[in-house]
C-alpha cells in the first residue's frame, strides 16, 4: 500500500470521517472527531499502522492531512 | 497473602542508581519484571549498582543514561523502549533533585533546575510513555512525591512546591488516562534513609524523627514495596491516590 493510502486508513479508522472527505484540504478541527482527544486517537492509529513511536514535535505539528503524510514519511521504514 | 508477580511486564525506573530508585528497581526485578534503568550519569558507582541489579536476573535490565530533565533524553528513552520491547507496563517517575535554601536566598537557576528535574520530567515522561501504555490498554504510573508536598518545611520552599506539583500532575493524569486503562498514583515518602536525607542538618533530622509515630526513619526498600504494590494488579482499582510512606508522620 502507498504511504498516502496508509495515512488515509489511519485517519479513517481513528476519526470516523465521511466517505467523501477531501483529503487535500483536510485540517485539524475541521471535523468534530478531529478534536484534541481525536488527535491522540489518530496518533495511536498512525503508530499502529507504521509500527512506530512518534516524536512529540511531530504530534504537535500534524495540523493537516498533508502535513501528516509529510511527517509519516520519516516513519515509513 | 499473595506475593507480587510482575512476570512479563516491562518497567522504567528513573533515577535508579541509588536510594528509592535503586530499591524500586531491585523490587521490580525480584517480582519478575524487565526493568529499564535510568541514571543521570553512568559513572562507576551507577555502573556497579546496575551490574548488581542485572545479576539478580541476568538479562532483565536495559540501561539508558541521561537526565530526564532533557526532552531529548525522554525521546531517546521512548524510542529505545519501543524498539526493544514494543511495550511499557510500569513507569516509576523517581528521578529528582533537592536544593534547599531559604526564601529570599534562592537563585533563579536553582528554582528552574528543581522544577525542571522534579516536575517537567514527570510531565514529559508521562506524555511520551502513556501512549505506549495505551496500546495495551493498561499501565501503571507511580510518581515519587514527598511528604513535603503536604507539610512543607523551612528551607525547602522550591522542593516542596515541586513535589506538590507532582501530586497535581498525578491527579490530572489519573483522570485523563483512566479511561485508557492506565492508573496513576503517587507515593509521598517521609523521612527515608537516602543520600538526599543525609543532606539534612542534625537538628532537622532529630526534629522530624521525634514526630514519627512508628519511631524510626524508613528505608528505601519500604518505599519500593509500596511502589511495587501500586505497579501490580493488586492495586488494580486504585488510581489518583497519594500513599504516604512516612511511619505516620502525616495523619
- Cβ of residue B178 closer than 8 Å to a chain A Cβ: no
Choosing among A51, A52, A56, which should be mutated to test the B contact, i.e. which has the most B CBs within 10 A? A56
pLDDT digits 0-9 by tens, B154-169 = 999 999 999 999 999 9
Q: What is the mean pLDDT of residues B26-51?
A: 97
**CB within 8 Å of chain A, chain B residues 120-159:** 124, 127-128, 131-132, 134-135
CA–CA gap between residue B61 and residue B25 (Å, rounded): 9
Nearest Cα of chain A lies from the Cα of B182 at a distance, in angstroms, of: 15
DSSP B119: I
Supply B151's cell numbers.
507539610
Q: Helices in A1-77 by DSSP H: which ranges? A: 3-15, 36-50, 56-61, 65-72
The confidence band for B204, taking pLDDT boundaries of 50, 70 and 90, is confident
Average pLDDT of chain B is: 95
Q: What is the mean pLDDT of residues A28-55?
A: 92
Q: What is the mean pLDDT of residues B53-74?
A: 97
- Cβ of residue B82 closer than 8 Å to a chain A Cβ: yes
Chain B residues in contact with A43 (beta carbon < 8 A): 131
This prediction has a pTM of: 0.92
Catalytic positions of B, written as ranges:
159
Note whether A48 contacts B82, CB cutoff 8 Å.
no
Backbone angles phi, psi at B63, to 5 degrees: -105, 130
Q: What is the mean pLDDT of residues B51-57?
A: 98
Choosing among B73, B74, B134, which should be mutated to test the A contact, i.e. which has the most A CBs within 10 A? B134
Average pLDDT of chain A is: 93
SS3 B206: helix
- Cβ of residue B71 closer than 8 Å to a chain A Cβ: yes
B33, exposed or middle or buried, with CB in 10 Å at 0-12, 13-18, 19+?
buried
ipTM exceeding 0.85, yes/no = no
pLDDT given for residue B196 in this prediction = 63
Residue, of A37 and A8, whose pLDDT is higher? A8
- Say if residue B72's pLDDT is above 70: yes
- Say if residue A56's pLDDT is above 50: yes
Supply A64's cell numbers.
493537516
- Say if residue A68's pLDDT is above 50: yes
State what percent of residues in chain A have pLDDT above 70.
Answer: 100
Residues B224, B168 contacting (CB under 8 angstroms)? no
- Say if residue B1's pLDDT is above 50: no
pLDDT digits 0-9 by tens, B108-164 = 999 999 999 999 999 999 999 999 999 889 999 999 999 999 999 899 999 999 999
pLDDT digits 0-9 by tens, B224-242 = 999 999 999 999 999 999 9
**Option in B124, B128, B131 nearest A44 (CB):** B131
Question: What count of residues does chain B have?
Answer: 251
pLDDT digits 0-9 by tens, B78-90 = 999 999 999 999 9
**Which residue in chain B is spatially nearest to A43 when comparing CA positions?**
B131
Helix (H) or strand (E) run with residue A24 in it: none
Amino acid at each position: 500500500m502507498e504511504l498516502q493510502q496508509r495515512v488515509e486508513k489511519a485517519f479513517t479508522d481513528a476519526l470516523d470521517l465521511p466517505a467523501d472527505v477531501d483529503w487535500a484540504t483536510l485540517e485539524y478541527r475541521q471535523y468534530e472527531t478531529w478534536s484534541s482527544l481525536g488527535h491522540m486517537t489518530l496518533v495511536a492509529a498512525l503508530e499502529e499502522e507504521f509500527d512506530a513511536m512518534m516524536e512529540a514535535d511531530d504530534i504537535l505539528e500534524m495540523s493537516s492531512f498533508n502535513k501528516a503524510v509529510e511527517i509519516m514519511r520519516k516513519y515509513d521504514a | 497473602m499473595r506475593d507480587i508477580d510482575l512476570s512479563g511486564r516491562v518497567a522504567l525506573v528513573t533515577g535508579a542508581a541509588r536510594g528509592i530508585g535503586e530499591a524500586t528497581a531491585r523490587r521490580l526485578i525480584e517480582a519478575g519484571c524487565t526493568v529499564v534503568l535510568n541514571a543521570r550519569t553512568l559513572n562507576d558507582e551507577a555502573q556497579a549498582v546496575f551490574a548488581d541489579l542485572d545479576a539478580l536476573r541476568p538479562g532483565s535490565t536495559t540501561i539508558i543514561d541521561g537526565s530526564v530533565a532533557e526532552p531529548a533524553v525522554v525521546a531517546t528513552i521512548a524510542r529505545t523502549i519501543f524498539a526493544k520491547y514494543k511495550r511499557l507496563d510500569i513507569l516509576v517517575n523517581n528521578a529528582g533533585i533537592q536544593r534547599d535554601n531559604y526564601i529570599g536566598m534562592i537563585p533563579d537557576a536553582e528554582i528552574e533546575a528543581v522544577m525542571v528535574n522534579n516536575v517537567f520530567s514527570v510531565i514529559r515522561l508521562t506524555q511520551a510513555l502513556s501512549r505506549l501504555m495505551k496500546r495495551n490498554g493498561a499501565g501503571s504510573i507511580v510518581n515519587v512525591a514527598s511528604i513535603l508536598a503536604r507539610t512543607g518545611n523551612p528551607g525547602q520552599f522550591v522542593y516542596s512546591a515541586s513535589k506538590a506539583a507532582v501530586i497535581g500532575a498525578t491527579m490530572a493524569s489519573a483522570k485523563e488516562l483512566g479511561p485508557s486503562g492506565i492508573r496513576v498514583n503517587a507515593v509521598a515518602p517521609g523521612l527515608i534513609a537516602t543520600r538526599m536525607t543525609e543532606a539534612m542538618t542534625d537538628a532537622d533530622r532529630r526534629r522530624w524523627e521525634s514526630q514519627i509515630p512508628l519511631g524510626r526513619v524508613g528505608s528505601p526498600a519500604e518505599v519500593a514495596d509500596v511502589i511495587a504494590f501500586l505497579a501490580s494488579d493488586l492495586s488494580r482499582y486504585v488510581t489518583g491516590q497519594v500513599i504516604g510512606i512516612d511511619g505516620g508522620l502525616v495523619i
